[in-house]
Chain A
Amino acid sequence: MTVKRDARNEELVRLLFEAESTIQALLAGQIDAVVDPKSKTPVLLSKAQDALRESEERYRRIVETSNEGIWSIDLDSNITFLNRPLAKMLGYTVEEMLGKPLQTFMSQSTGARAALRIDHSREGGSDESEAEFVRKDGGALWGLLKTTPILDVDGQYAGTLAMMTDRTRHRAAEEALRNSQEQYRQIVETTTDGIIKMDDRARVVFVNRRFAEMLGYMPAEMIGESIFTFMSAAGEAIARGSMQSQLSVRPPVDTTFRHKDGRDISVNVASTQLVDDNGNRIGDLAFVRDITEQKKLQSQLMVSDRMASVGTLAAGVAHEINNPLAAVIANLDYMSDSLVNLCDGDKPRMSDAWFREEMKSPLDDAREAAQRVRFIVRDLKIFSRSPNEEPCGAVDVNAIMESSLRMAWNEIRHRARLTKQFGVVPGVDANEARLGQVFLNLVVNAAQAMPEGRAEHHEIRVTTRLEKAHVIVEVSDTGPGIPPEILGRIFDAFFTTKDIGVGTGLGLAICHRIVTDLHGELTVQSEVGIGTTFRVSLPVASDEQPLPVVTEIAPVIGRRGKILVVDDEMLVLSSLHRVLSKEHDVTTVLKAKDALALCTSGKRFDLILCDLMMPDMTGMDLHRELTSLIPEQAAKMIFLTGGTFTAEGQRFLSETSKEHVEKPFHPANMRAIVQRHLR
C-alpha cells in the first residue's frame, strides 16, 4: 500500500512539477503550442502563430518572386505545390496545375526520363538535367531542372522538390547559332569560288573544297603550308604586294596559282585583312575565282569581233583593191598591144620618146597601182597577222592608225572629210592587231555616226600627240553626239544602238578591255548636236626600240654565188630567177623534197632561199632534215614568208633566229640581201 501510495505520490509530485514548469514556461513566453484538452489537437499560441506566419510569409515571398519555377510532387508524382512563376512559364494558373500529374506538363521523352529520375530520387539522389515542357499553347519550353528528394521525419522518401530555370531563349539562340554556322558552312562548301583563310604569317588555316580542287590537292594537304607554296614566283610577288595593302577592302587582282601538276591557273583574287578586336592583324581571307575559261572566252571574243570588223570592211577593201588592179591590168594590156604592134609593124619605131610613151610610163603606172594593192594587203595583214594576243613590243601608233584609216576609207569618204593631225610620237607597248582593232572600231563608229551623202558638212578628225609619258590618240566626229543617259553604258558588253545585224555590241567593250590591258585608258566625251570624241591614252613603251621600217638597202656589186630557190608558187620562182640570175647561178625547185634531193646528191649552194610554208614538206621540215644531214647547208638557208604564218612558224623563226624576207619584196632589196649573205 505504502509503496503504491508512494508511487502515486511520486506521480502526483511529478505532475505538479510539470504543471509548475509549464506555467513558468508559459509565463516566460517559452511555449508555442498547447494541446486543446477537448479536441486533442495542437493549437498555436497567437504570438507563435504571428511569428510562424511571418516566417512563412518570408519564405513564400522568396519562392513566389524567384525567377525559377519551383514545385513539389508526392509519391504518385502529383503536384502538391507550385509557385506562380512556374505556372506563368507554362501559361497556366496555379490552380490548373495543382494536383495534376507532373507528366501532363512534359514532352513525351522528358516525361519518360522524369519517371526514371523520380526512381533515382526515391533512392535519395539529387539530379540536374535539361527537360522539355509543353506550354498550355502547345509551345515547347526548355528548362534546366534541379531535383531533390523530400524525406519525412523517418527519413522515408515522401516526394520530390524541383526547381527549373527557363532556358528556351538560350536554346533558341544556340540553335540559331548552329543553324547559321551550318548555313555558312554550306555557302563556303558549295560556292564556285575558292576560299582561303590564312594566319598572320600567310600559312593556310582553312581552305574550302573548291579551292583545293582548283589546284588538285586535298584540303588537308594544304593546311599549315605557306600560301606562297602554291604560287609561281610571279604569283607570289603579286600576292605579297596585295597583302601589304592595309586597306580593309583591297582591289581584286588577277594573278595565278600553281596547280599540283605544275600548270598555272589564272585567277582573280579578292582578299581582305582579318583583324582582332584590338585591330591587330591576325591574317587574311581570300576569295579566288578561276578565270581560265573567262580569259579564253575573252580572247576568242576579241578575235571574233576583229573578224567581224574586217568582214564589214571586206566589201570596201575589195573596192580599194579593184581600182588599182584595174589600172594594172589596163596598163599591161596597153603595153601588150604596143608590143604586138611593134612586132607586126613595118618598121620599128624605137626612139626614146616612143619607148617612154609606149613602155616606161604604162609600166610605171602599173607598178604604182600594184604598190597600192600591196599597201592594202599589208593593212589587212595587220588585222589577222598575230597568232597570239600578247603585246609584241613597241609599235608605231601613227602607222597603225594610217592602216586603220585606209581600211575604213570606204566607210568614211561618203560621210565626212578626214583631217589627220599626227604628231611625232614614240612607240607604245602593244599588239599591232589588237591596237588596230581598237582604232578601226573607233574610226568606223565615228563614220557611222554621220549620214551618208553630206561629206562636205561633216568631219572626222584624228589626232595623235605626246602628253607627258602617254601617247594620246583622239578620234572626233561631228555626228549627233551621245545622250548623257546612254554615255555611261557605251562600254558595256552587248550594249548597242545600232540595228540588229549591224553591230555586235561588243566593239567598244572589247576596245575598252584591250586598252585597259595595255595599262591605258579609253574615255569618251560627247555633246548632243556637236559630236563625240573618243580618247585613247597609252603609256610610252618602256624599252622603245626603233620600229622595223622597210629599209631599202643600196644594191651592192659582189661575187657570183650558187643560189637555190625553193617555193611552191611558180610565179615567185620565175620572178626571183629573173631578179637574181644576172648576178648569180640560180636553181629553182617547186618542192622542198627536190631541194633535199639536190643537196643529198652532193650539190652545194652558197645560199638557199626557201618558202617557209609549203604543202607536204615545209621549209621548216627541210631545215630540220638538212640540219641533221648536212648542217653546213642548213646554215645557208634564209626564209621567204607570206606574212601570215602559223604559231609554229613564228616559234621556229624566233628559236632558230633565222633571217626571213617578207613577200612581196623589192627586187633591189632582194639583191642586196643575197649579196650580204654571200660575203
Chain B
Amino acid sequence: MTGSVIVLRLYVAGNAPNSVRARANVKEICDEYFHARYDLEVIDMLEHPRRALDDRIIVTPTLLKLSPPPLGRVIGDLSDRKQVLLTLGAK
C-alpha cells in the first residue's frame, strides 16, 4: 500500500486568496482521484521561508509531487485540473 501512496507538498502564503483556493483545489482533486491514498503537506512560505528555499520555490502557490517519480511541479491556484492531473501522473 505504502508504495502506491502519492506524496505531495503545497507551498502557500498564509491565507492569501490564491493560497486558500490552491489548498481547496488540491484537496478536492486528491480526494477524488487518490481517495485516502495520498500524503499532503501544506507549508506556509511566510512562516517557513527556509524550507521554501530548500525546495527552490520562487512563487506561491506551488504544488510539488515528491513521489512516485518523476518529480512534478504545478504553479498557480491549481484551478486547471487537467494540468494538475497530468503532472501528478493520474489519468
Contact = CB atoms under 8 A, between A and B. Distances in A.
A24 B14 CA distance: 22
A32 B75 CA distance: 11
Contacts of B42: 153
A488 to B, nearest CB: 86
**Most-contacted residue by chain B among A30, A33, A40 (CB, 10 A):** A33
B59 A48 contact: no
Contact of B16 (A40, A41, A44): A44
A314 B74 CA distance: 132
A34 B58 contact: yes
Given A35-B57, A48-B13, A18 B75 contact: yes
Nearest to B58: A35
A148 to B, nearest CB: 19
Interface string B4-27: 000000001111111100000000
Interface string A3-29: 000000000000000100110111011
Interface in B34-77: 41-49, 52-53, 57-61, 73-77
Interface string A29-55: 111111101001110100011011001
A396 B64 CA distance: 125
A37 B57 CA distance: 11
A32 B15 CA distance: 9
B73 A18 contact: yes
A25 B59 contact: yes
Nearest to A54: B17
Given A42-B46, A153-B48, A35 B53 contact: yes
Interface residues of B, number: 30
Given A18-B75, A26-B59, A42-B13, A32 B48 contact: no
Contacts of B79: 30
Given A25-B77, A30-B79, A42-B13, 17 more contacts: A18-B75, A22-B59, A25-B75, A26-B59, A31-B59, A32-B17, A32-B61, A33-B46, A33-B60, A35-B57, A40-B53, A42-B45, A42-B49, A42-B52, A49-B16, A51-B17, A153-B47
Given A18-B73, A21-B76, A42-B13, A32 B18 contact: yes
B16 A51 contact: yes
Contacts of A25: 59, 75-77
A415 B48 CA distance: 122
Given A52-B15, A52-B16, A24 B76 contact: yes
A31 B48 contact: no
A320 to B, nearest CB: 119
16 contacts: A21-B75, A22-B58, A22-B75, A24-B76, A25-B59, A28-B76, A30-B18, A31-B59, A32-B12, A32-B60, A40-B53, A42-B45, A44-B13, A44-B16, A48-B13, A153-B44
B46 A55 contact: no
Contacts of B16: 32-33, 44, 48-49, 51-52
Residue from B17, B45, B53, B79 with most neighbouring chain A CB atoms (10 Å): B17
A48 B17 contact: yes
Interface of B: 12-19, 41-49, 52-53, 57-61, 73-77, 79
Contact of B15 (A30, A37, A55): A55
B14 A31 contact: no
A123 to B, nearest CB: 23
Given A40-B49, A42-B45, A42-B52, A31 B76 contact: yes
B13 A35 contact: no
Nearest to B79: A30
Interface residues of A, number: 26
Contacts of A44: 13, 16, 46
User: 5 nearest interchain CB pairs?
Assistant: A25-B76, A32-B16, A30-B76, A33-B13, A48-B16
Nearest to B47: A153
Given A18-B75, A40-B49, A153-B48, A35 B59 contact: yes
Contact of B43 (A31, A37, A48, A153): A153
A231 to B, nearest CB: 80
B77 A30 contact: yes
Nearest to B53: A40
B76 A34 contact: no
Nearest to B19: A32
Contacts of B48: 153
Given A24-B76, A48-B18, A33 B43 contact: no
A32 B76 contact: no
A44 to B, nearest CB: 6
Contacts of B73: 18
Contacts of B49: 35, 40-42
Given A28-B76, A30-B76, A42 B60 contact: yes
A30 B61 contact: yes
Contacts of A31: 18, 59-61, 75-76
Nearest to A154: B41
Contacts of A28: 76
Given A25-B59, A42-B45, A32 B53 contact: no
Contacts of B47: 153
Pick the most buried of A25, A28, A52: most chain B CB atoms within 10 A of its CB: A25
A52 B14 CA distance: 8
A25 to B, nearest CB: 3
Contacts of A34: 58-59
Nearest to B46: A42
Contacts of A35: 45, 49, 52-53, 57-59
Nearest to A31: B59
A47 to B, nearest CB: 8
Contacts of A30: 18, 61, 75-77, 79
A127 to B, nearest CB: 27
Contacts of B53: 35, 40
Nearest to A22: B75
Interface in A100-115: none
Nearest to A26: B59
